[in-house]
């Protein structure tokens, strides 16, 4: 097992995890660093790295672990990727790879520019890039909301 593992890893189920691995590489720039295959060549487990983060990509494995493609497009979580540069180019890369863009890149009140994308099996991904440092007071003024725990 690799020395490097983040403390929190999301695991995502796909009908076709091999296609998902290829798509995540092409669309978002993930790097495959672990692949476990069954004797017949099916993907049993995989882990993909993005910066200092990781996501597990695997097959549907029970009635409770399904791809959105198998449950009418429903999602119980979304995954967020924080990038360091050129979110607009990143969005175009995802679009060119077949991602459906739900929300075009837009600067948010908290200083990140974000876009939202649906992958070929219906998982929702949000991608953000910090483009401005915003104080808690400025964010509260912009939204009318009270914010606690602002870093």
Residue in the block written with tokens 């959105």: 68
Q: Is the pLDDT of residue 90 over 90?
A: yes
Residue in the block written with tokens 């597990």: 56
Q: Tell me the pTM.
A: 0.89
Q: Is the pLDDT of residue 106 over 80?
A: yes
Specify the 3-state DSSP secondary structure of 65: strand
pLDDT for res 1:
52
Domains along the sequence of the chain with CATH? 1-60 (3.30.720.120), 78-142 (3.30.720.110)
The structure tokens listed for 149 are 């725990």
Instruction: Report which of residues 44 and 117 the model is more confident about.
Output: 117
Residue 23's alpha-carbon distances to 8, 29, 95, 121, 148, in angstroms, are 22, 9, 11, 10, 37
Q: Is the pLDDT of residue 98 over 80?
A: yes
| 51-88 residue pLDDT tens | 999 999 998 888 888 888 887 887 878 899 999 999 99
Radius of gyration of the chain (CA): 17
């Amino acid at each position: 097992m690799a020395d490097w593992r983040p403390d929190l890893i999301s695991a995502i189920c796909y009908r076709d995890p091999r296609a998902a691995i290829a798509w995540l590489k092409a669309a978002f720039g993930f790097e495959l660093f672990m692949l476990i295959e069954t004797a017949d060549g099916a993907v049993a487990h995989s882990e993909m790295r993005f910066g200092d983060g990781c996501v597990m990509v695997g097959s549907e494995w029970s009635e409770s672990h399904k791809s959105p493609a198998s449950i009418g497009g429903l999602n119980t979580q979304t995954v967020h990727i924080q990038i360091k540069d050129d979110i607009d180019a990143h969005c175009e890369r995802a679009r060119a790879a077949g991602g459906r863009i739900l929300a075009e890149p837009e600067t948010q009140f908290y200083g990140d520019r974000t876009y939202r994308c649906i992958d070929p099996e219906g998982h929702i991904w949000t991608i953000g890039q910090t483009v401005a440092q915003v104080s808690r007071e400025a964010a509260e003024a912009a939204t009318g909301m009270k914010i606690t725990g602002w870093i």
